[in-house]
């Protein structure tokens, strides 16, 4: 099971592939307001992290994800269940 820090690092790495390198990304970075992710970018990110962690993220948890920290906590929970 990956640690919380590993998950955050992997999520930031996945996001770095789609945003400008000039953008600062931290746990508190908001996917929509800070990174200007639209629904397609969010779904692509979800697909990427699902592949990286070999899990399936239920659609109903997406409403609870605003920041990288929110996403990392959900991924930590989901990877712990596997």
What whole-number distance in Å separates Cα of residue 59 and Cα of residue 3? 23
Structure tokens that stand for 3 in this block:
């640690």
**How far are the Cα atoms of 8, 63, 64 from residue 71, in angstroms, in the given order?**
8, 11, 8
Answer yes or no: is pLDDT of 81 > 80: no
Q: Where are the domains of the chain?
A: 4-81
In the three-class reduction of DSSP (H, G, I as helix; E, B as strand; rest coil), residue 62 is classed as helix
pTM: 0.91
At residue 20, the pLDDT reads 82
CA dihedral 71, 32, 9, 44 (to 10 degrees): 80
Tens digits of per-residue pLDDT, 32-58? 999 999 999 999 999 999 999 999 999
CATH superfamily of 4-81: ACP-like (1.10.1200.10)
């Amino acid at each position: 099971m990956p640690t919380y820090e590993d998950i955050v690092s992997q999520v930031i790495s996945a996001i770095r592939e789609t945003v400008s390198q000039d953008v600062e990304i931290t746990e508190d970075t908001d996917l929509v307001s800070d990174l200007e992710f639209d629904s397609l970018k969010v779904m692509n990110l979800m697909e990427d992290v699902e592949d990286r962690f070999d899990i399936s993220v239920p659609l109903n948890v997406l409403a609870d994800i605003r920041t990288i920290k929110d996403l990392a906590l959900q991924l930590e929970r989901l990877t712990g269940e596997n």
